[in-house]
Amino acid sequence: MRPITDVASAMGLDWKDLEPYGRDRAKVPLDVFPVSGRRGKLIVVTAITPTPAGEGKTTTSVGLVQGLARIGKKPVLTIRQPSLGPVFGKKGGGAGGGKSTVEPSIDINLHFNGDFHALESAHNFLAAMADNAAKNGSVPGFDASGITWRRVTDAEDRALRRVITGIGGPMEGPLRETGFDISAASEVMAILALALDYKDLRSRLSSIVVGWTSDRKPVTAGDIKAVGAMMALLKDALKPNLVQTAEGQPAIVHTGPFGNIAHGCSSIVADRLALACGDYVVTEAGFGADLGFEKFMDIKVRQGGAEPSAAVVVVTVRGMKWHGGVDFKELTTPDVDAVKRGTVNLAHAIRVVNHYGLPAVVAINRFPDDSPAEVAAVKDAARQAGSVAVESKGFAEGGAGMTDLATAVVEAASRPSKVKLLYPDDLPISKKVETLASELYYAASVDWGPMTRTTARRYQDQGWNFPICMAKTHLSISADAKLRGVPKGHVLPIGELRVLAGARQIVTLVGNIMTLPGLPVEPNAWDIDLTEDGQVVGLLGA
């Protein structure tokens, strides 16, 4: 590893202005950002609809930065911080893999600089303040029955999805039914990812809705006087974290909203810092183009995030076979016909990117068992969809295996592009949902659950005509994880609406989506341990 002081210096940052967290990372205060403004081009990495094992977006993002450096560019990476839930559960870590990782990867996948702890503390403190306000009657008409603010945990703990709090009598109350979400779905997390500065952070926190009075008026964090304390808890969490790739390029790891139940992007301030310091900035949007990339554009860019110049669509041969109908256990068996059937999903992902006015470059994340004929079928499908496909070998070769992709990305980003969003700001909430359903998911109709239309109208009446954050399965463009490829004519069931007034988005819960995952039968935690000499083993192959 390069000394982190050298990494900072290469970005034009003065080390004495930064806040070191040990010897291999630092926080960058907002007031020391370069004042020159945007210098670089932003590349957003997305993917096909993933298999349960994922497609390798983070590894590709890291490798692309390494590849860009190999062809003489000055790149910077911006990615999300991993959540402990998937790390100890099934998905694993989020710092890349093989020779394309962000370091120190083990620490990044664990408590990394305390940002998650700070947001959990702020979120759950707000829950305590809401309970206290309801118990003491400090807001007229606001009692326990009107509280909607749930608590969060970073563990995948299904036992906390629905709980009763306040058992023990009036002194312990208020007694009510509530539940927990995973911290990556917290509105505080979304706010940290979208806030432009401390002033904007304060404004957004003040607008958080914690419940409703008996006459249906919203009660906010500002109303219960919780904002000042939350600001104190979050003062360092808004500062981006500077680390490096395995080959020494600067990497900024900041915030971590999920892509299926939250908006799935790294922070606006991280991108702003990177774009002022590098000529190419590579960032990642969660899950497939229909989820993370759509939210990147319709939520993050809409709310002040930098417009990208191009997108990378990550695909695997295994993913194409999955969408071609092959069983998960048979994905390593060569099957060119299945690959060809599955490429409809790749064409759809390219179409989504193009729909927003951006050129797409397809990155074929190579595995050792991919046959030449299968790879050729993917390249042919990309070409027919109006894109170019390049083999991506960052896992096995690091930056040396990513120069072809880097060259293709530079060429794509040099083309003129005009970003366009999917729907206008003033379109009614219900129409925004229906636009997403028809344009991106190919649904025949939307099934509005009990009270959901009424809730949408109530939000409209409050002036909350925000963009939509669709919370649905990431394994299909539909609401049914079993429907692969590009299913059409299905129904999109909207079960619940939640307002995130501070994050300025409406969360629509689709089907049986859960905002607090549970641990699998054989969690990764079984293999993770600490040796007697203090080394973590079993985490990402360590």
* C-alpha dist (Å) from residue 64 to 226, 331, 378: 42, 26, 20
Please say whether the beta carbons of 17 and 255 come within 8 A. Answer: no
Alpha helix positions (H), 195-284: 198-207, 227-233, 268-277
Instruction: Give the residue from 353, 385, 413 where a domain finishes.
Output: 413
Confidence at residue 219, expressed as pLDDT on a 0 to 100 scale = 98
Q: Residues 53, 188: one domain?
A: no
Residue 450 in this model has a pLDDT that exceeds 70: yes
Q: Which residue has the higher pLDDT, 512 or 327?
A: 327
Burial class (CB in 10 A: 0-12, 13-18, 19+), 311: buried
**The pLDDT value given to residue 541:** 46
501 CB-side CA count, 13 A? 21
Cβ–Cβ < 8 Å for 103, 180: no
**CA dist., res. 223 & res. 126, Å (int):** 11
| Percent of the chain's residues with pLDDT above 90 | 91
Give per-residue pLDDT as tens, 395-439. 999 999 999 999 999 999 999 889 999 999 999 999 999 999 999
- Count CA atoms closer than 13 A to 488's CA, side-chain side: 4
What pLDDT band is residue 539 in, cutting at 50, 70 and 90?
A: confident
Q: Which of 380, 413, 446 is the last residue of a domain?
A: 413
**222 within some domain:** yes
What's residue 37's pLDDT? 76
Q: What is the pLDDT of residues 343-371, one digit of tens each?
A: 999 999 999 999 999 999 999 999 999 99
Return the structure tokens found at 242: 């500077």
Residue 520, C-beta contacts closer than 8 angstroms, at least 6 positions apart: 89, 90
Residue 518 is assigned to a structural domain of this protein: no
Question: Do 218 and 297 fall within a single domain?
Answer: no
244 is a domain residue: no
pLDDT band at 203 (very low <50, low <70, confident <90, very high): very high
Phi, psi (rounded to 5 degrees) for 373? -65, -35
Q: How far is CA 42 from CA 31, 271, 398, 403, in A?
A: 22, 8, 21, 18
CATH assignment of the domain containing 288: 3.40.50.300
Is 489 found in the same domain as 406? Answer: no
Distance CA 192, CA 169 (A): 37
Question: Which residue type is seen at 422?
Answer: L
Q: Is residue 67 part of a domain?
A: yes
Q: Per-residue pLDDT for 542 more than 60? A: no
Q: What is the pTM of this model?
A: 0.95
Contact, 419 vs 358, CB < 8 A? yes
Query: Is residue 275 domain-shared with residue 356, that is, in the same domain?
Result: yes
For the chain, count helices (H), then strands (E): 17, 24
Asked whether the beta carbons of 221 and 230 are under 8 A apart, the reply is: yes
The better pLDDT of the pair 213, 173 is held by 213
d(CA 108, CA 490): 40
Token pair recorded at residue 304: 């002040």
Pair 23, 263: CB distance under 8 Å: no
In a domain, 433, yes or no: yes
Average pLDDT for the chain: 95
Residue 491, in any domain of the structure: yes
Residue 256 neighbours by CB under 8 Å, 6+ apart: 80, 81, 82, 83, 94, 116, 184, 189
- Quick one: pLDDT at residue 193? 98
Decide: 396 and 98 in contact? Cβ < 8 Å.
yes
Q: Domain limits at 68?
A: 36-80+257-413
Total structural domains within the chain: 3
> Is residue 289 located within the same domain as residue 402?
yes
Q: Cis before residue 372, ω within 30 degrees of 0?
A: no
**192 and 282, same domain (yes or no):** no
- Rounded distance, CA 485 to CA 478, Å? 10
- The CATH number assigned to the domain holding 480 equals 3.10.410.10
Q: Give the rounded percent of residues in the chain with a pLDDT score beyond 70.
A: 99
Which pair of structure tokens corresponds to residue 150?
A: 């749930």
One-letter identity of residue 522: E
HEC secondary structure over 263-305: CCECCHHHHHHHHHHCCEEEEEECCCHHHHHHHHHHHHHCCCC
Domain end point (choices 379, 413, 447): 413
Of 213, 264, 321, the C-alpha closest to 44 is 264
Using pLDDT thresholds of 50, 70 and 90, give the confidence band for residue 171.
confident
Per the domain annotation, does 102 fall within a domain?
no
Q: What are φ and ψ of residue 101, in 5° steps?
A: -125, 165
Residue 531 domain-assigned?
no
Rg of the chain on CA atoms, in Å: 23
Look at residue 538 in the predicted model and tell me its pLDDT: 87
> Do 263 and 404 belong together in one domain?
yes
> In terms of domains, do 266 and 404 share one?
yes
Regarding whether 447 and 379 lie in a shared domain, the answer is: no
**Tell me: the pLDDT tens digits for 292-336?**
999 999 999 999 999 999 999 999 999 999 999 999 999 999 999
The CATH number of the domain holding residue 224 is 3.30.1510.10
Overall average pLDDT of the 213-230 stretch: 98
- Same-domain pairing of 355 and 445: no
Question: 295 and 388: one domain?
Answer: yes
DSSP 320-334: HHHHTT--GGGTTS-
- Residues 379 and 434 both lie in one domain: no
The residue among 172 and 263 whose pLDDT is bigger is 263
Please compute the mean of the pLDDT values over residues 116-133 and round it to a whole number.
97
Q: Residue 508 has which token pair?
A: 């629509």
Q: What's residue 86's pLDDT?
A: 85
Q: Which amino acid is it at 203? A: S
